[in-house]
Chains A and B, each alone.
Chain A
């Protein structure tokens, strides 16, 4: 059955048409938030609503810039998300390499236990973590948030990275071993370059997750200097009203950096995902 030229063209139009529609649905809410962020308070509550601001205004941004959303909140978000994602990837590589390349009693069981930690509801641990933090005088510090995030994201990170290491043929390492390389050297010189897309994927997924993390932060953080951006956003929403243009301007500041990070890393990420970074 050979399809004719015309059929192909129709196929192509349908395919592209549907995809364009999906893309529009995907970006519309964010684009509208961007548009709202440039409206005035008055225009935000105009009936009927406008798609594009009638009078462009930076009032929302002015208020955000005056507030502590950028400094310290967004800075905290940056420190916590970057710090925890990097540590997760480093620890994850070591652990995943052990799981992937060594036979030892309990290997499978330990993997299952760690994977099972993904099933723990987030709120479960928070009371204990709060007490632990206060005992070690670590509450409201970036370090403690990073430590919590690392433990929280590590199971998923190990899982992703193990899939990437599993995909590397073992023969490549064997020659290095014969040359006398230890496991750390093998990881450094063979695994890291070959598993890079997988590691980037793990990093990006953890980074996006912890950049946006809300539940842990809102319970754990009591201090204005330690709050992260998603929690700090609540500063613009008090009891009975939300200043939507300010809120949306704040949201733009939160979305932009992580969107740029995604854009920079997207090739490696897509490549790894398409090669099956997340496996059954």
Chain B
């Protein structure tokens, strides 16, 4: 803390300085707080309000919890949740798993690392709409170059005409975009693990695998959990890639696509707001669960 005053100062001066100083963080935070209050907090409260109303011809009619009742009675909502968890679960495992592998490889400090990292980051700058269309194009039935290569495996039909295939391509595109950032996060964590710890483990006779899982992994667990949280939230809220890649079909209708469909396409703003509220708590709940893992020891 810096706010300590020197004893020599007079009492009044100290009090003045203290009160001014204690307001400093407030002044520093004020601009951010104004932004967040007006353009985040107010809209959220407004959404809560909409979720209890029906909007028709510009008028709000209170309907109590009817929107939530409709939501919880809608089987599409549960199906959307199921698709979301499948989608997020698989892409999470792949992103984290491959991301870790890439980080370990980069941590061998090949002389070409700088080049590898630049090339690897290309997908990171590609927008979700563009990425979705490019991937759709790769798997297009007749003209898709990857579809043509895998034709012997899938038969004559495009992979995305099959429900699991459509979800798989969406997952691949998502992992493709999420991988560089995750790898970099892990690489940072790995580089901060002191070599002494690794070497002492090696001296104890542990092989490289054992050292990694018993020594390195526990040390970088905080970073691992951050990556898991970020990947999960990004996946749960992903809309652009899915819609551009497969359109709105049941096989890839995640709960966020369901929100897009109901709350935006169908113009059912009340139900949309209700879905938003539920989704917020899902996001929050998952984050809290993950954070529990971090605190366990």
- The residue on B at minimum CB distance from A174 is B2
- The residue on B at minimum CB distance from A183 is B24
B46 to chain A, nearest CB (A): 4
In the complex, A22→B122 CA distance in Å?
Answer: 12
With A95-B32, A101-B2, A147-B35 known to touch, is A275 a contact of B188 (CB < 8 Å)?
A: yes
A121's partner among B98, B179, B280 (CB-CB below 8 A) is B280
Whether the Cβ atoms of A255 and B130 lie closer than 8 Å is: yes
A119's partner among B187, B223, B240, B287 (CB-CB below 8 A) is B287
Q: Which of B129, B189, B256, B283 has the most CB of A within 10 A?
A: B129
**Which residues of A are found within 8 Å of B287, using beta-carbon distances?**
119
Q: Is A15 in contact with chain B by the CB < 8 A criterion?
A: yes
B114-148, CB < 8 A from A: 116-131, 133-135, 137-138, 142-145, 148
Whether the Cβ atoms of B46 and A127 lie closer than 8 Å is: yes
Q: Is A59 in contact with chain B by the CB < 8 A criterion?
A: no
In the complex, A213→B126 CA distance in Å?
Answer: 10
Whether the Cβ atoms of B129 and A233 lie closer than 8 Å is: yes
What total of chain A residues lie within 8 Å of the partner, measured CB to CB? 98
**Which residues of A are found within 8 Å of B42, using beta-carbon distances?**
128, 132
**Which residues of A are found within 8 Å of B119, using beta-carbon distances?**
23, 26-27
- The residue on B at minimum CB distance from A261 is B125
* 4 shortest interchain CB distances as A-B pairs: A212-B127, A151-B39, A280-B222, A125-B43
B203 to chain A, nearest CB (A): 8
Main secondary structure of the interface of B (DSSP, over half): helix
Whether the Cβ atoms of B188 and A177 lie closer than 8 Å is: no
With A125-B47, A154-B36 known to touch, is A26 a contact of B122 (CB < 8 Å)?
A: yes
Q: A95-B31, A104-B22, A254-B127 are in contact. List 5 more A-B contacts (CB 8 A).
A: A32-B134, A49-B143, A121-B256, A174-B2, A215-B240
Q: Is B235 in contact with chain A by the CB < 8 A criterion?
A: no
A134 to chain B, nearest CB (A): 11
Q: Is B3 in contact with chain A by the CB < 8 A criterion?
A: yes
Q: Is A155 in contact with chain B by the CB < 8 A criterion?
A: yes
Q: Is B18 in contact with chain A by the CB < 8 A criterion?
A: no
Whether the Cβ atoms of B28 and A208 lie closer than 8 Å is: no
Q: Is B73 in contact with chain A by the CB < 8 A criterion?
A: no
In the complex, A253→B42 CA distance in Å?
Answer: 36
A positions within 8 Å CB-CB of B: 1, 11-12, 15-16, 18-20, 22-23, 25-27, 29-30, 32-33, 36, 44-49, 51, 91-92, 94-95, 97-99, 101-104, 107, 110, 114, 116-129, 131-132, 147-148, 150-152, 154-155, 158, 170, 173-174, 177, 183, 208, 211-215, 219, 230, 233, 242, 244, 247-248, 251, 254-255, 258-259, 262-263, 266, 270, 273-280
Whether the Cβ atoms of A124 and B44 lie closer than 8 Å is: yes
Whether the Cβ atoms of A19 and B259 lie closer than 8 Å is: no
What total of chain B residues lie within 8 Å of the partner, measured CB to CB? 94
Q: Is B88 in contact with chain A by the CB < 8 A criterion?
A: no
Q: Is B195 in contact with chain A by the CB < 8 A criterion?
A: no
Whether the Cβ atoms of A251 and B130 lie closer than 8 Å is: yes
B7 to chain A, nearest CB (A): 15
A251 to chain B, nearest CB (A): 5
In the complex, A51→B146 CA distance in Å?
Answer: 10
B119 to chain A, nearest CB (A): 4
Give 12 pairs: A residue, B residue, CB < 8 Å, sorted on A.
Answer: A12-B110, A32-B138, A102-B3, A103-B1, A119-B284, A123-B272, A147-B35, A150-B39, A154-B32, A158-B32, A173-B2, A230-B127
B245 to chain A, nearest CB (A): 12
Q: Which of A29, A154, A259 has the most CB of B within 10 A?
A: A29
Q: Which of B101, B122, B179, B230 has the most CB of A within 10 A?
A: B122
